[in-house]
Each structure stands twice: as C-alpha cells, then as structure tokens.
C-alpha cells in the first residue's frame, strides 16, 4: 500500500521506500511505453528516427493538455466529459473572430476566455447546484458541441494568418534534434501542473476533496472553491488546446476534436489516477501520454487503421487496471501463506 | 418511537415526476404540431416511432445497468458490432432465416455484454472505465470483422428491411420488439424478486453482499442483458437503415441512450429508476430530435437542445429532491423523542 | 447446547494477526456478550461466524456441522444473522422490500411479490419488535433505531438460530436501547443464541448471561454474569487496573468567549442560545437526534443556519472560514466520514486546517508542516509508524487523537467536540479527557457533546440539555446527576 502515498499529494520524503514502491503507480504505463517502443523499432527502422518521432508529438499535445487538467478534475473526485466540446466552441469563437478581422492575438485570448467561461458554467451547475459532474458534463458535452455547430454550421473557417499556422512545425534546437515547440510548451505546462498539485495548498485541497469531500470541508478546506477552480482550469486548457489544434490544422470545423475526451480520460486513468478521486499524479499522466503516443505511432507504422489503434489503447487501458489488481491480490495471498 | 406514517410517499413523487415528463411531451407535440402540421402526419409519426423504438430497446437495458450503480458506455459500439455481424451473415449466407439472423445479432451483443460483465463483476474494474475501454475495442472489432467494408442495402434481404415496416396488425416488428422489451422489463422490475435485487445492489452494494445477494452474478446478468438488447437494437438498426458502415453504425449512441435514461428520472448513482420513466424519457428525446428538424430548426440546434433538456431535467430533479429532504428532516426532528 | 463453536480460529489482515487461536462457544437460549477494547478482534470474530470473513486457520461449527468458510449464504441457511451498528439496509427500497429481498436463495429467484400478504407478514414481524413503521415507508427516511428494527425483522423472518448484534446502542436513545434489550431477551427465551458486542459496561452487566473478553485477538476468559463486575471486566480487557478520575473543576473561569444567540437550523433545532467562557468546558447532553451535533455544526459554519448570531469575543461569525480564522475547531462525531480523510496520510490530515499558517502565497512549506505534525504526534502520544502512514491504518483511539490534534496545531481558542470518545478504548478515553481539561485550563473554551453519561457528568463544568431541537435546561456540575439530565432530556417533570 505504501506506493499510494507518492500518488496522494504527500510531502513526506519517499526516499525510504523501495524503488518498486516509488514507481509502482507508473509501472503499467512505463511497461506499455517500453513495449510499444520496442515493437515499433523492431517493425520499422523509421520508428526510432528521432526527428520523425518528435514531430508527431505535436499531434498529441492537445490530448495532453486536456489530460493534465482532467487529472486535477478527476483527483477532485469529479469528471469533465465536455472538454472536447468546449475545445470546439473555443476554436469556433477564435475562427469567427479572425474571420471578422480581429487580430489573431485577441482571437486566441478570446479562445482562452471562452474555454474558461464554459468551464465556469460546468462549475456553476456541478458545484453551485450540487449536481453530479458525470451527468452535467454529459449534457454540456452535447450542449457545447451544439453551440459550436450553431456558430459554424458545416463550413470550415480558414484564413488564419500565415505566421499563426504550423506551430508544430517550429523546432527549438535546429535540425539536429527537432524538438517541436508544442512539446516544449506541453512539458512546461505539465511542470506547472505538477507543482500545483504537489507543492501548493490548492493541490492538497484537491487530494483531500477527492478522497473525502465532507472530511475535507470539516477540516476547513474550501472544497466548493477547489472543485470550481479545477473545472475552470479544465476549460482554460480546452481553450489552450483549441489554439494549438487550430494552429496545427490551419482551419476550424465544428466537429474539431470530436471524441478527444475519451482519449484524454484514457490517458489519465492509464497514468494511475484513481477514477474515483483522491489519488493520481501529473508524472503518471505524462508517461501515459507518451505510452499512448508510442502505441499509436507504432501501429501507424504497421499500417493499422485508426479504429483498431483505439481498440488497442482500450485493451491497454483495461489491462493496466486488471494486471496490478491481480498482482497485488496474488502477492497478498502468498505473503499470508508465508506467515502461517 | 416512530409513527406509522411513511412521510412523503415516494411512489407518489415518482408518479408526479413522470407526469411532468408526460406534460412536456404533450406540450412539445402541440408546439411542433402548430408550427408545422406535417409533424403530425402519419408518415412522420411513423418515423418517430421507429427511431424511438430502437433507442427504447437500448435505454431499457441501460436503465437496468444504471440501477445497479454501473454504466455501459459501450452500447453504441456493441450495436455497431452486432449489426455488422448480422449484415455480413445475411449477405454471405442468404439461406439463413430471419429469426436466426436476429438471434445471431443478440448473441453477438450478449457475448460483448458478457465481456463487460466479466470485467466489472469478476475483475472488479469500475464500469465506467471497463466500458470506456470496450467502447473502443468493439468498434475496432467491427473494423477487423468487416475488413472495413460496409454492408450495402442490396446485400440486405428485403424481408429484413420489412421488419421496420411491416408486422402483425400493421405494426412493424421493430415496434413490437420494443413493446415486448418494455413489458418484460416492467414485469421484471416490479414483480420479481430478482428485479428488486438489482435496485438493492445499486442502493447499497455492501449491504447486498451481507444479505447474501449474488452481487457478482446479478451484475454479470445485467451486463449480458444490456449486450443482448444492444444486439437486438443492432438487428433493428439493420432493418431500419439497410446499411451498416463500420465507422458510424451506432456511433455516439451511448449519449442518446444515457440521456433518455437520465431524463426518465433514473438516479445516475443507482438504486432508483422506473421503466415508465425510461419510456417517457426516450419518447421525449425522440420527439425533440424529430420535431426540431420538422419545424425547420437547423440540424445544428439539435445537439444543443438535447444537452439543454438533460440539464433541465437534472436541475428540476435536484430542486424537487432538495425540497423533499428539507421536509423530511423537519418531520424527523418532530418525531424523534 | 452449543450452537456456535469456533475452533482455534485465526485471522491475519496483511501482517497483523487479528484473531489468534480463538475457541469460542455460544449456547442456545443465552445472551453472550463479547467484550474488548478497540482492535481486540470482536467484530472480526462475529464476521467469521456470520460467514463474512473466512478464517485463515480453524473452523466454525454451527450446531455441530462445519460452516463453509466465508460463505454468507451458508451461514444464513443455518439461521445466523448479523446486525450492525449502522444498519445495512437499502435506502432506496421500502421497508417491506428490505425485509424480503433475500427470500429464496438462488439468484434467479422468480418468486413474486405477493404484496398484500407480505405487507401483513411485515407488520406482524415489526409488531413483535414493538415497531409501528409502515411497510411501504422508504428506509432512507427512517431513524437509525427504526432501521435497526427492520434489520432484525429481516433476520426474524427466517428461522433464526443465532442473532449477532454488533455495537448497536451507541446511536440509540435509552428507550430504544430498552426496546432492543427486550427483544433480545424474548428471542433468548425462544431458544435463540444471542451474541452481543457492546462497550458500555452497565449495559453489558444488565443484559448478559455470559461474557467473553477478548484482548489483542486472543480470548482472555469467558465468565458468567455472576462472576463479573465492572472492575474485573476492565482489568481483563486492558490487562491492568485503572483508577477513575474524579471530577476536578477549575475555579478560574474568565470572560465569555463564544456566544450563540437564537440560533436555528430549519428542521434540526431552534432558538439555541448559549455562552462559553474562557477556562470552561460546557457539556451538551440529550438524546440522539435532539439536535446537539447539528448545533455544533451550525456554530462552526458547516451547516446552514436559518436565523441567529454566533460571535467569538464579540465579533460575529458567518462562515466556516471566519470560524476557523476566529480560532474555532470542530472534532466531529464520525471520524471516518467527517473527522479524517482516512485514505490520506497523517501529515496531510494534520496540515489540512493549518495551511494558512504553514504556506506562503499558497505554496506549501514541507518542513513547517512536518514540524507541526511531529509536535502533535509527540504531544498527544499518537502511535504512528511514520507521518506518511495513512490515517485509516491507525487504531480508533489514535485516529481520534489525530482528529483532535490537527486543531491543536493552531493557537485555538474554542474546541467544539462531538462524542470524542465514542468507540475509543478506555486508555485513550482518559487521555482525551485530560487533554480537554488541560486545554480549558489554559484559558480556552470547550463545548462538548456526549451521550456517554459518565463522561458528561465527569468532564464538563456545567451541562446544557437539549430535547427536540431546543435547550430545555442547564445544570451546574454539582446539581447534575444521571436522573436530572435524563429528566430534562426526556421532558419528564421533576
């Protein structure tokens, strides 16, 4: 059980724990990551081509941004199914503003503001009215996607300035190791989230709220405030992901990011975050993102179709939950047998 | 000690809530009918009945799942997979009789449901995660099985397509199946011990275990039932649309189904929910989707409207529940001596 | 004749041995009390008998036949029923459905509800227990005592041979306890073996035919009621003597610190006014459900108020944040649900209310938090393996100390404590009483809610009594005795 501490917002030094306990929560995603990389490099010489691999990460950064914020929401004991729809509304807003001649900076800022606002609406229903987040965000999943459709209809917004398009093509370190800018941005944001969860009062409030909301409240933690902030953070990240995605694609459709919420939640859970709240880490989510990326890219190289890629990720998600449970179960049994 | 008074009668409240949905349905029909009389013509009403029928078959299963404090997100993919298998069998082995085709679809669904059931009941994976995984897995399987080739209308026997058009007394078989599912579910949940036990499990799983109820067995059963119903839904999908595309047969269906169940008043945390409520919820969702199109509201507003109606339903529920609780706690104070 | 026979039953949880070669026998037509401190293994033992826990070694014989280990269904088929402190019922179902839900053992039971007949049988069963709850009432809306009776009625429905009642009385009113005991005696007279787990010695001596004492998972001794007395039982339970602490009130009572005027919470209590002075412990007595806990929660700001003013040192307190800032802390009754986050570490639990003291600009400072937590662990002599240990892994007494200690990190002025020693072993009980007294003596104020009559009469300086949501009277410690408190609590004129 000792590995739970590392994943529950604890400040106590874990130096005394055996290495197995320290990496315990990350083990499933690490195994998947290594396996996928080995499989990928065996099946194609291009897989380990460093620059190609890194360029592809740009595509996963959007999922990653959503997953980071979802990690916080899920640790709080909530869920946000509406992130991808929120992303679509944010992207649509940005597109319409650019079309009407507003500068891209202002439009991007508006995307963040809309994302934040829609997150706040979720918070209003969930925290303010005390409704279950699963149902509310199921409703806003449809509501926000509908809003994006109302805004854009079935046309595509193009006409973004050249300078804005192709953020994923920008590399930081020149040609010898093309580190895409989105990846760097993602890692910086991940670091901020990690600090937020492990080193701030807000972080502790999240873990305690998710573990036992009533007890947290009775300890003077502002649980409503904490949960509302998490939903707004989630909205903000949806806005940020919208900007990234638009820059990468160079156009906006109302179905942008459709279904990304399931992928992002899969990443969070694969990373060891407890779907019922109270436990989880940003490092886990980051590793899981790279694991999912490696799996999908190695399947792409083997010419496996997109839906089947998703299915493989689905299998991994389920195994990532079952295998540790079974191992723990067996270990407990054998240790008890030894005692007798 | 306590008085014999049961306080606010829960049964009455549930009826009041259901009457509320019914009133909304009537109001919607009136509004849509006034805005465009075509809404009320036989052809359109027939279309509504058919789409509600398929949704209903799945919603009843989903209600049973949610009552046990679980959820099945994979229903759309199961529908797609079983529709695909049925379509392919019908195409490649034309001699297979229609009833057997339907049974094949249900068996495929039941098998898929059994996998969900094993994951949730035996391996103890939270239902929301297990079915999030199988949602992708069954969709992927549909691709592998079909080799990414869609089943076209000319491949589907006319008699299969007739299931959605003809039947005894002129009622299409699709509708008859939906009615049978509803009737059996109503009998099961109100008249059998096993039905009541589903509510018990969702209401307090720990107590259910302590009272010796077979929690795992019943959970497994409920997922298999859901799967078989999704399979039946798949068969009806083939009948109604006469095309099965591996990418979009049943895609996103889970949201419509869960919406119908939630609007119908089933508690998302298990323990309560009625067949009648689910039926009304499904009808409401079906009428809304159709009506908005018929009165010329752009299709783009439909998602928005369905999201708004779920929000409305749960907000209304919350207010009612809060008022009951307030009144109840007042009575408790008065009673305790 | 022995109905239940445990032979050399042992059970480990992880590396902890909770039952150690226990040979326990319960006869038909007797009330057999199992007694022991928290963690002595009482609940585990009865769970083994009821088939909820399978023993790692040894076996259980029911009427001479070996029980299939860990099978609730097998135990039930043998007529064993276990009633818990918190009734294990289905809140969404009706009373009748709750009682009949496990009728028919197969899981494909198609037996139909014959509504009218079942309602009649339900009324009859409840009637035997002196309960008049309607068979159609939803269980969620019933009191704990009513729910316990439904739990027992469900057991009575079957051919009951062994009734196990696990610590039921903590949340019951005296009248309800009396009714429960009457039922237990009747069942005993009908030949049922009744196994009862309790904490209150007076109760135990009143009800038992035989008493078995467990300590650290071992059976210490089984004795008949005639051999038993309070001192002897305490000695057997803790393995040493303790002397009772006599009440020693302090003289130095200062100015009013906490003042409550006309406080009401709709549906729970109304027009509560009280003052607590520096250096004073004020007790609140009354029956469970009389609104005492709710008063504390409303003062602390975690329960909405409908009217009234709470002020500390003259400043009005409106919210939870203001209450904490004004130096108030609440130690709630239910540790697991409200007092502690059991799945989080001791450190996090202690840090939670004190983040304003330990952090800078919202950033946590680990060393400060650790220093504070270590202080508290040392001061309250909390037994922890490390600060990273999960709160849920501590014993009841140690959990209660953490729940109290987290507030003592702050320079607190007012402690609101609700049943601070419920389910806590006798040693910890004394220490917690000592801590409260010490706290008050340093010029601070304590408001104490307790259902434990001895605690209520020994610890506070004066006592308020509540009945049906109102304060019905106040007693100085000199005039208070069991009778005077009960009169006010039950509304009987002197």
Label residue A2 by pLDDT band (50, 70, 90): very low
ipTM above 0.85, yes or no: no
- Per CB-CB distance under 8 Å, the chain A contacts of C347 are 10-12
**pLDDT classification of A3: cutoffs 50, 70, 90:** very low
User: At residue C112, does pLDDT exceed 60?
Assistant: no
pLDDT bracket for residue B2 (50, 70, 90): very low
C49, C86, C89, C101: best to mutate for the B interface, most B CBs within 10 A: C101
Range with the lowest mean pLDDT among A91-95, A251-255, C244-248, C447-451?
C244-248
Distance from CA of A41 to the nearest CA of B (A): 24
pLDDT given for residue B1 in this prediction: 35
Indicate the residue of B199, B206, B214 with minimum beta-carbon distance to C93: B199
Predicted local confidence at residue A12, as pLDDT? 47
User: Mean pLDDT across chain B, nearest whole number?
Assistant: 87
Residue A63 pLDDT greater than 60, yes or no: yes
What does the pLDDT look like over C217-228, one tens digit per residue? 889 889 888 888
Most C CBs within 10 A among B13, B66, B193, hence the mutation to make, goes to B193
pLDDT of residue A304: 84
* Dihedral pair phi/psi, residue C211, rounded to 5°: -130, 130
B202 vs C contacts (CB less than 8 Å) = 92
Looking at the predicted structure, is the pLDDT value of residue C493 above 60?
no
Q: Note whether B304 contacts A139, CB cutoff 8 Å.
A: no
Q: Which residue in the set A144, A305, A317 is minimally distant from B132, CB to CB?
A: A317
**B189-198, B226-235, C21-30: which is most confident:** B226-235
Taking CB atoms and an 8 Å cutoff, what residues of chain C touch A207? 344, 348
Tell me how far CA of residue C396 lies from CA of A19, C131, C334, C426, C449, in angstroms.
31, 33, 11, 11, 19
Residue A217 pLDDT class (50, 70, 90 cuts): very high
Mean pLDDT of chain C: 84
> What is the pLDDT at residue B5?
41
Average pLDDT over residues B269-286: 92
Q: What is the pLDDT of residue B252?
A: 80
Name the 3-class secondary structure at A39: helix
Cβ distance of C339 and A222 shorter than 8 Å: no
Contact assignment for C138 to B10 by CB distance below 8 Å = yes
Burial of A175 by CB count in 10 Å (0-12 exposed, 13-18 middle, 19+ buried)?
exposed
- B6·C134 Cβ contact <8 A: yes
| C76 has pLDDT over 90 | no
Q: How far is CA C181 from CA A10, C53, C99, C213, C493, in A?
A: 47, 27, 21, 20, 26
Answer whether C42's CB lies under 8 Å from C9's CB: no
Q: In terms of pLDDT, which residue wins out, A14 or C297?
A: C297
| Confidence band of A336 (pLDDT split at 50, 70, 90) | low
Asked whether the beta carbons of residue C89 and residue B207 sit closer than 8 angstroms, the reply is yes
Whether residue A340 and residue C57 make contact (CB cut-off 8 A), yes or no, is: yes
Calculate how close chain A gets to B3, using CA atoms only, in Å: 32
Q: What are phi and psi of C38, to 5 degrees?
A: -60, 135
- Judged by average pLDDT, the poorest of B62-71, C246-255, C321-330 is C246-255
Most confident of B287-301, C379-393, C401-415: C401-415
Sort out which chain B residues have CB atoms less than 8 A from C103's CB and list them.
193
- Given phi > 0 = left and psi -120 to 50 = alpha, else beta, which region is C18? alpha
3-state class of B114 per DSSP?
helix
Question: What pLDDT is stored for residue A16 in this prediction?
Answer: 46
CA distance B9 to chain C (A): 7
Asked which of B78-82, C286-290, C427-431, C451-455 is least confident by mean pLDDT, the reply is C286-290
Compute the nearest-CA separation of A331 from chain C (Å).
10
Q: What's the pLDDT score for residue C71?
A: 81
pLDDT exceeds 70 at position C110: no
Distance CA C220, CA C424 (A): 20
Residue numbers in C near B2 (CB within 8 A): 131-133, 142-143, 145-146
Using the beta-carbon criterion (under 8 Å), do B129 and A149 form an inter-chain contact? no
- Alpha-carbon gap: B32 to the closest alpha carbon of chain C (Å): 37
For the domain made up of B42-324, the CATH class stated in words is mainly alpha
Domain extent at residue A95: 2-339
Query: Chain C residues with CB inside 8 Å of B205's CB?
Result: none
The alpha-carbon gap from A171 to the nearest alpha carbon of chain B, in Å, equals: 33
Average pLDDT estimate for C362-373: 91
Confidence of residue A236 (pLDDT cuts 50, 70, 90): very high
Radius of gyration of chain B (CA): 21
CA separation, residue A228 to residues A223, B162, C440 (Å) = 8, 52, 39
Chain B interface includes A93 (CB < 8 A): no
User: Are the C-beta atoms of B166 and C77 separated by less than 8 Å?
Assistant: no
pLDDT score of A170 more than 80: no
* Residues in chain B closer than 8 A to C76 (CB atoms): 212
A222 contacts in C (CB within 8 Å)?
321
Residue A180 has pLDDT above 60, yes or no: yes
Mutate to test the interface with A, among B75, B122, B292, B300 (most CBs of A within 10 A): B300
d(CA A194, CA B55) in angstroms, rounded, equals 43
Lowest mean pLDDT among A4-8, B296-300, C93-97, C485-489: A4-8
Stretch A89-112: mean pLDDT, rounded?
Answer: 94
- Quick one: what percent of chain C has pLDDT higher than 90? 26
**What pLDDT does residue B3 have?**
37
pLDDT score for B4: 39
Confidence of residue A210 (pLDDT cuts 50, 70, 90): very high
Strands C281-286 and C445-449, how do they pair?
parallel
Which pLDDT value is given to residue A21? 57
Q: Is the minimum CB–CB distance between A191 and chain B shorter than 8 Å?
A: no
Query: Which range among A12-16, B215-219, C443-447 shows the weakest confidence by mean pLDDT?
Result: A12-16
How many structural domains does chain A have? 1
Pick A130's closest partner by Cβ from B128, B141, B318. Answer: B318
d(Cα B337, Cα C116) in Å, to the nearest integer? 31
Put simply, the answer to whether C111 touches B193 (Cβ < 8 Å) is yes
pLDDT for C490 equals 67
Most confident of A308-317, B108-117, B207-216: B108-117
Q: For an interface test with B, which of C47, C86, C92, C265 has the most B Cβ atoms less than 10 Å from its Cβ?
A: C92
Mean pLDDT value across residues A291-296: 87
Q: Among B31-35, B150-154, C31-35, C37-41, where is mean pLDDT lowest?
A: C37-41
Residue with the bigger pLDDT between A60 and C422: it is A60
**Mean pLDDT (whole number) for A291-305:** 85
B contacts of A325 (beta carbons < 8 Å): 123-124
Yes or no, beta carbons of C132 and B1 under 8 Å apart: yes
pLDDT above 80 (res B332): no
Rounded to the nearest angstrom, the minimum Cα separation between B303 and chain C is 33
What confidence tens digit (pLDDT) does each residue in B187-203 have?
Answer: 999 888 888 899 999 99
Chain C CB contacts of B207 below 8 Å: 88-90
CB atoms within 10 A of CB C478: 9
Q: Quick check: A216 and C352 CB within 8 A?
A: yes
Report pLDDT for B309. 84
pLDDT at C447 over 90: yes
Q: Do C101 and B6 touch (CB under 8 A)?
A: no
Q: How far apart are the first and last CA of chain C?
A: 48
CA distance B184 to chain C (A): 13
**Which region among B323-337, C110-124, C231-245 has the lowest average model confidence (pLDDT)?**
B323-337
Chains in contact with B, counting 3 or more C-beta pairs less than 8 Å apart as contact: A, C
Does the pLDDT at position C277 exceed 50?
yes
CATH of the domain at A200: 1.10.3470
What is the CA angle C247-C440-C466, rounded to 5?
A: 70
Note the pLDDT tens digit of each residue in A196-207.
999 999 999 999
Q: How confident is the model at residue B328 (pLDDT cuts 50, 70, 90)?
A: low
Nearest partner of A97 among A88, A106, A87, judged by Cα: A106
Closest CA to A90 of A68, A66, A73, A74: A66
The per-residue pLDDT for range C163-198, each reduced to its tens digit, is 998 876 656 677 778 888 888 899 899 999 999 987
Q: Is the pLDDT of residue C375 over 80?
A: yes
Chain B nearest C-alpha distance from A92 (Å)? 14
Q: pLDDT grade, residue C476 (50/70/90)? A: confident
Distances (CA, A) of B92 to A253, B86, B149, B151, B232: 39, 10, 13, 10, 20
The pLDDT value recorded for residue B333 is: 44
Asked if the Cβ–Cβ distance from C266 to B194 is below 8 Å, we say no
Query: Closest Cα of chain C to A129: distance in Å?
Result: 15
Report residue A29's pLDDT band, with 50, 70 and 90 as the boundaries: confident
pLDDT at B297: 77
Residue predicted with more confidence, A53 or A234: A234
Are the beta carbons of C468 and B337 separated by less than 8 Å?
Answer: yes
Q: What is the DSSP string of B270-281?
A: SS---HHHHHHH
CA-closest candidate to residue A190, choices A284, A331, A109, A49: A284
Non-local CB neighbours of C124 within 8 Å, separated by 6+ positions: none
Tokens standing for residue C180: 């429960």
Cβ contact, residue pair B337, C93, below 8 Å: no
Query: C107–B217: do the CB atoms touch at under 8 Å?
Result: yes
Segment B42-68 shows an average pLDDT of: 94
- State what percent of residues in chain B have pLDDT above 90: 51
- Backbone φ, ψ for residue C219 (5° rounding): -80, 115
Output the pLDDT for position A5. 46
Do C289 and B332 lie within an 8 Å CB cutoff? yes
* Nearest Cα residue in chain B from C490: B337
Considering CB atoms only, which of A8, A203, A339 is closest to C15? A339
pLDDT at residue number C128? 81
Residue-level pLDDT at B326? 66
The pTM of the full predicted model, rounded to 2 decimals, is: 0.83
Contact: B197, C101; criterion CB under 8 Å: yes
Residue B169 confidence (pLDDT) above 80: yes
Residue C38: the pLDDT is: 61
Give me the mean pLDDT over the A25-49 stretch.
Answer: 77
């Amino acid at each position: 059980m000792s590995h739970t501490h590392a994943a529950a917002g604890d400040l106590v030094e874990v130096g005394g724990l055996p290495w197995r306990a320290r990496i315990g929560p990350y083990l499933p995603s690490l195994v998947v990551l290594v396996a996928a990389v080995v499989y990928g490099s065996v099946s194609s010489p291009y897989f380990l081509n460093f620059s190609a691999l890194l360029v592809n990460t740009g595509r996963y950064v959007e999922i990653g941004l959503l997953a980071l914020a979802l990690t916080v929401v899920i640790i709080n004991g909530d869920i946000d199914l509406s992130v991808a729809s929120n992303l679509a509304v944010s992207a649509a807003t940005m597109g319409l503003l650019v079309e009407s001649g507003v500068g891209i900076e202002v439009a991007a800022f508006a995307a963040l503001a809309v994302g934040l606002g829609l997150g706040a609406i979720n918070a209003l229903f969930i925290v303010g009215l005390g409704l279950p987040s699963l149902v509310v965000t199921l409703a806003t999943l449809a509501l926000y996607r509908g809003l994006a459709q109302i805004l854009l209809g079935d046309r595509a917004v193009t006409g973004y300035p050249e300078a804005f398009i192709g953020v994923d093509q920008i590399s930081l370190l020149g040609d010898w190791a093309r580190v895409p800018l989105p990846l760097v941005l993602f890692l910086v944001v991940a670091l901020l989230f990690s600090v937020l969860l492990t080193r701030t009062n807000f972080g502790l409030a999240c873990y305690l709220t998710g573990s036992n909301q009533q007890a947290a409240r009775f300890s003077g933690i502002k649980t409503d405030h904490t949960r509302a902030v998490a939903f707004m953070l989630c909205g903000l990240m949806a806005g940020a992901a919208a900007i990234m995605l638009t820059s990468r694609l160079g156009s906006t459709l109302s179905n942008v990011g459709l279904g990304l919420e399931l992928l992002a939640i899969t990443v969070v859970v694969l990373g060891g975050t407890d779907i019922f709240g109270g436990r989880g880490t940003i490092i886990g989510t980051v590793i899981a993102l790279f694991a999912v990326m490696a799996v999908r890219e190695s399947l792409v190289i083997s010419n496996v179709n997109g839906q089947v890629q998703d299915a493989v990720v689905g299998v991994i998600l389920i195994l990532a939950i079952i295998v540790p449970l079974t191992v723990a179960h067996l270990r407990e049994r054998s240790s008890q047998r030894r005692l007798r | 000690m306590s008085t014999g008074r049961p306080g606010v009668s829960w049964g009455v409240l549930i009826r009041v809530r259901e009457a509320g949905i019914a009133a909304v349905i009537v109001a919607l029909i009136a509004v849509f009918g006034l805005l465009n009389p075509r809404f009320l013509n036989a052809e359109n009403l027939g279309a509504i009945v058919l789409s509600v029928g398929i949704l209903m078959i799945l919603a009843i299963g989903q209600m049973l799942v949610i009552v046990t404090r679980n959820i099945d997100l994979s229903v759309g993919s199961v529908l797609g997979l079983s529709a695909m298998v049925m379509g392919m069998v019908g195409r490649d082995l034309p001699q297979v009789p229609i009833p057997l085709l339907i049974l094949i679809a249900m068996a495929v669904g039941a098998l898929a449901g059994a996998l969900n059931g094993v994951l949730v009941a035996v391996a103890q994976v939270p239902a929301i995660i297990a079915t999030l995984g199988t949602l992708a897995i069954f969709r992927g399987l549909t691709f592998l099985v079909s080799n990414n080739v869609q089943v076209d209308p000319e491949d589907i026997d006319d008699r299969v397509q007739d299931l959605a058009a003809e039947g005894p007394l002129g009622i299409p078989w699709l509708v008859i199946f939906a009615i049978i599912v509803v009737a059996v579910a109503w009998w099961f949940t109100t008249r059998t011990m096993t039905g009541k036990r589903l509510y018990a499990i969702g209401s307090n799983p720990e107590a259910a275990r302590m009272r010796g109820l077979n929690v795992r067995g019943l959970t497994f059963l409920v997922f298999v039932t859901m799967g078989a119903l999704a399979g039946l839904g798949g068969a009806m999908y083939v009948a109604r649309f006469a095309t099965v595309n591996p990418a979009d047969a049943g895609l996103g269906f889970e949201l419509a189904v869960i919406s119908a169940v939630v609007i119908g008043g089933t508690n998302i945390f298990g323990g309560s929910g009625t067949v009648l409520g689910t039926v009304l919820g499904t009808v409401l969702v079906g009428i809304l989707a159709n009506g908005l199109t018929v009165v010329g509201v752009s299709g783009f507003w439909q998602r928005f409207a369905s999201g708004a109606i779920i929000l409305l339903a749960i907000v209304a529920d919350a207010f009612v529940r809060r008022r009951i609780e307030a009144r109840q706690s007042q009575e408790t104070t008065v009673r305790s001596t | 004749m022995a109905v239940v026979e445990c032979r050399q039953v042992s059970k480990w949880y992880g590396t902890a041995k909770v039952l150690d070669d226990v040979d326990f026998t319960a006869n038909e037509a007797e009330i057999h009390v199992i007694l022991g401190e928290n963690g002595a293994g009482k609940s585990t033992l009865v769970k083994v008998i009821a088939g909820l826990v399978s023993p790692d070694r040894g076996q259980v014989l029911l009427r001479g036949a070996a029980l299939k280990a860990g099978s609730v269904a097998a135990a039930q088929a043998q007529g064993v029923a276990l009633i818990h402190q918190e009734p294990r019922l289905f809140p969404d179902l009706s009373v009748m459905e709750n009682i009949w839900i496990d009728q028919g053992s197969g899981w494909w039971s198609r037996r139909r509800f014959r509504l009218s007949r079942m309602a009649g049988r339900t009324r009859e069963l409840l009637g035997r227990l002196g309960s008049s709850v309607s068979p159609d009432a939803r269980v969620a809306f019933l009191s704990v005592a009513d729910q316990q009776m439904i739990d027992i009625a469900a057991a009575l429905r079957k051919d009951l041979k062994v009734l196990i009642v696990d610590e039921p009385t903590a949340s019951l009113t005296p009248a309800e306890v009396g009714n429960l005991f009457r039922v237990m005696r009747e069942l005993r007279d009908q030949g049922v073996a009744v196994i009862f787990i309790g904490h209150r010695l007076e109760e135990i001596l009143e009800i038992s035919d035989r008493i078995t004492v467990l300590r650290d998972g071992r059976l210490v001794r089984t004795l008949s009621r005639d051999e038993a007395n309070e001192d002897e039982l305490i000695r057997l339970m803790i393995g040493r003597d303790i002397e009772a602490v006599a009440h020693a009130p302090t003289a130095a009572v200062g100015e009013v610190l906490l003042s409550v005027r006309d406080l009401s919470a709709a549906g729970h209590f109304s027009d509560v006014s009280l003052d607590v002075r520096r250096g004073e412990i004020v007790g609140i007595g009354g029956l469970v459900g009389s609104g005492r806990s709710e008063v504390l929660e409303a003062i602390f700001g975690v329960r909405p108020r409908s009217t009234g003013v709470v002020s500390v040192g003259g400043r009005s307190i409106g919210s939870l944040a203001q209450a904490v800032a004004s130096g108030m802390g609440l130690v709630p009754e239910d540790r697991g649900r409200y007092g502690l986050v059991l799945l989080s570490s001791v450190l996090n639990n202690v840090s939670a209310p004190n983040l304003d003291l330990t952090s800078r600009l919202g950033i946590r400072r680990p060393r400060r938090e650790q220093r504070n937590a270590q202080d508290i662990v040392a001061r309250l002599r909390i037994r922890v393996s490390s600060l990273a240990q999960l709160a849920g892994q501590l014993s009841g007494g140690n959990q209660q100390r953490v729940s109290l200690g987290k507030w003592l990190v702050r320079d607190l002025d007012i402690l609101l404590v609700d049943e601070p020693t419920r389910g806590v072993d006798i040693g910890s009980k004394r220490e917690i009483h000592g801590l409260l007294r010490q706290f008050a003596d340093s010029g601070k104020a304590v408001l104490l809610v307790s259902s434990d009559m001895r605690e209520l009469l020994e610890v506070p300086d004066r006592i308020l009594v509540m009945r049906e949501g109102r304060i019905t009277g106040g007693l100085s410690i000199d005039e208070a005795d069991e009778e005077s408190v009960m009169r006010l609590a039950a509304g009987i004129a002197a």
